[in-house]
Amino acid sequence: MLIASLILTTMDAVFELLIPYLSGLLITQGVNGLRFGLALDPISIDIPSGKVIGIVGGTGSGKSSFVNLIPRLYDASKGEVIIAGHNIKDYSVQALRNDIGVVLQQNLLFTGTIRSNILWGKPDATDEEIWRALEIAQAADFVRGFKEGLDTPVVQGGKSVSGGQKQRLCIARAIIKNPKILILDDSTSACDMETERKIKEGLFTKLKGTTIFIIAQRISSVKDADEIIVLDNGKEVGRGTHEELLNTCQIYQEIDSRIASGAPASSGS
């Protein structure tokens, strides 16, 4: 596998991506949603708009690589990515990403206030819109607990809040613009399971019409998805609901068993 390095600056973070050599990946989005196809290792998925797709697999399985083609964090080295009948290279990166929300495990907060950080997602948002996003992300209660509320200072990197609070603020920042596609890449890993459950409930009920991709280490994060894709070394090795995969996919069973036994789950892309 050929690896290249790219430094990207986005509104959420400055980070380094290791780019795998992708051969023949095709993503098309029609009026009914998204379709994926990988030429060497065929993957064909029809995703109606508004569906929730879980993606699980071990380190290096291609989870993040698979979904990060959508916002063009990098491009396929062969093949093409089609959205609404057009190659995504025909769209400006800004226009494309305006309709896509991405929340990473290590997302950053900027020096400023809670309000100014959320406004990165939608600069003209009203306070009502900010509080709605915070409610969905299960961040409203702790923000109200701060003496200065939305005007609470945030130090660089978000070190003034806990890891779970930082992740919830980043989720609020991503969803305030009501994205058509939302990608959550292990973005609730620092939250307890009950908080994670409430976040998912809010996303599923309040973001009707948004197609959601959840990449996760914990099976609990994806078990309620409409469909779960299991990847291993860039290949699809299982697909179905949680119950179906427990009966048909050995790798999914192994991930579930490791978590149930308290063993650390594999992470990474």
Residue 240: predicted pLDDT: 96
**Mean pLDDT lowest among 33-37, 39-43, 243-247:** 39-43
Assess whether pLDDT exceeds 80 at residue 82. no
- Tens digits of per-residue pLDDT, 124-168? 999 999 999 999 999 999 999 999 999 999 988 778 899 999 999
**Rounded to whole angstroms, how far apart are CA atoms 41 and 62?**
12
Of 253, 204, 178, the C-alpha closest to 53 is: 204
More confident residue, 204 or 88: 204
| 268 CB neighbour count, 10 Å cutoff | 13
157: left (phi over 0), alpha (psi -120 to 50) or beta: left
Does residue 203 surpass a pLDDT of 70?
Answer: yes
Q: Residue 188: which domain range?
A: 3-260
Show Cβ contacts of residue 31 under 8 Å, excluding neighbours closer than 6 positions.
none
- What percent of the chain is predicted at pLDDT more than 90? 47
**Within-domain flag for 184:** yes
Q: Which of 53-62, 72-81, 250-259 has the lowest mean pLDDT?
A: 72-81
pLDDT category, 52, cuts 50, 70, 90? Answer: very high
Digit-coded pLDDT (tens) for 87-135: 778 878 887 888 889 998 777 899 999 999 999 999 999 999 999 999 9
Both structure tokens of 126: 């009203």
Residue 267 lies in a domain: no
For 170-185, the pLDDT digits (tens) are: 999 999 999 988 999 9
Give a yes or no: residue 265 inside a domain: no
Residue 221 lies in a domain: yes
Residue 201 counted as domain residue: yes
Identify the pLDDT of residue 173.
97
Angstrom distance (rounded) from CA 161 to CA 154: 8
Q: What pLDDT sits at residue 35? A: 53
User: Is position 266 within any domain?
Assistant: no
How many whole angstroms separate alpha carbon 61 and alpha carbon 235?
Answer: 8
pLDDT of residue 79: 60
Residue given tokens 């998925």 in the structure block = 45
* Alpha-carbon distances of 6 from 22, 37, 166, 194, 257, rounded to whole Å: 15, 24, 25, 36, 36
Is 25's pLDDT higher than 70?
no
Q: What is the pTM of this model?
A: 0.81
- CATH at 246: 3.40.50.300
Residue pair 34/25 in contact (Cβ under 8 Å)? The answer is no
Instruction: Look at residue 268 and tell me if it is in a domain.
Output: no
Average pLDDT over residues 245-258: 93
CB atoms within 10 A of CB 106: 15
Rounded average pLDDT over 204-229? 91
CA dihedral for 63, 96, 10, 205, sign (positive or negative): negative
Contact (CB, 8 A) for 117 and 159: no
The SS3 of residue 132 is helix
Q: How many domains does the chain have?
A: 1
Mean pLDDT in residue range 240-256: 95
Does the residue 156 lie in any domain? Answer: yes
